[in-house]
């Protein structure tokens, strides 16, 4: 019973941290971002029910399952070479295969990427077709251990 109560608390708090409700108020948005980062740095004690179950199953079996890495795409518009290089170095350092797509002359792809990522500046990273964002978001994924999980699965 104790696990059900704590699991409910953990998943509820995670839902609040991931919600966009109240984001029109800058202090609420900033507080949520700070608390989300603190949650990530603390090892994500507040997470989804699926993530809790994955952790328990991985701990019980002790086995690490590897799978084919998800496709990682780095969209680049030919401008911010420094940020692109930092993102490439982080991915290479983690042995994550990726492709760089130059969208300088492809307005349709540029528009799609910025819309999906909800950002206007390149470079932008996508994992398995899902927008991650820029260097800041990539670094956050790496710090909280979610980068390998999203690319390689379970425990990367």
Q: Cβ(48)–Cβ(14) under 8 Å?
A: yes
Topology of domain 72-152 in CATH is Glutaredoxin (3.40.30)
- Number of C-beta neighbours around residue 10 at 10 A: 19
Please enumerate in sequence order all residues whose Cβ is within 8 A of that of 154, keeping only pairs 6 or more positions apart, or say none: 54, 58, 64, 65
Q: 156 pLDDT exceeds 50?
A: no
Give me the pLDDT at residue 53, please.
85
Cα separation, 154 vs 95, in Å, equals: 16
pTM above 0.75, yes or no: no
Give me the pLDDT at residue 66, please.
53
Q: How confident is the prediction for the chain on average, in pLDDT?
A: 86
The alpha-helical segments, DSSP class H, found in 80-134 are: 81-93, 107-117
Q: What mean pLDDT comes out for the span 8-37?
A: 84
Please enumerate in sequence order all residues whose Cβ is within 8 A of that of 62, keeping only pairs 6 or more positions apart, or say none: none
Q: Give tens-digit pLDDT for 126-152.
A: 999 899 999 999 999 999 989 989 998
Which ranges in the chain are annotated with CATH 3.40.30.10? 72-152
Q: Give tens-digit pLDDT for 53-62.
A: 888 887 665 5
Q: 83 pLDDT exceeds 70?
A: yes
Cα separation, 31 vs 79, in Å, equals: 32
């Amino acid at each position: 019973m104790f696990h059900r109560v704590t699991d409910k608390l953990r998943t509820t708090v995670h839902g609040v941290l991931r919600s966009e409700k109240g984001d029109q108020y800058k202090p609420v948005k900033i507080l949520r971002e700070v608390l989300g980062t603190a949650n990530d740095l603390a090892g994500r004690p507040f997470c989804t029910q699926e993530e809790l179950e994955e952790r328990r199953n991985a701990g019980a079996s002790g086995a690490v399952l590897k799978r084919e890495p998800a496709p990682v795409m780095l969209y680049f518009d030919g401008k911010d070479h420094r940020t692109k290089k930092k993102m490439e170095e982080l991915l290479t350092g983690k042995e994550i295969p990726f492709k760089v797509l130059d969208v300088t002359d492809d307005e349709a792809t540029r528009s799609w990427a910025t819309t999906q990522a909800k950002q206007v500046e390149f470079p932008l990273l996508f994992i398995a077709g899902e927008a991650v964002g820029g260097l800041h978001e990539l670094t956050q994924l790496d710090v909280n251990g979610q980068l390998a999980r999203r690319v390689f699965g379970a425990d990367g």
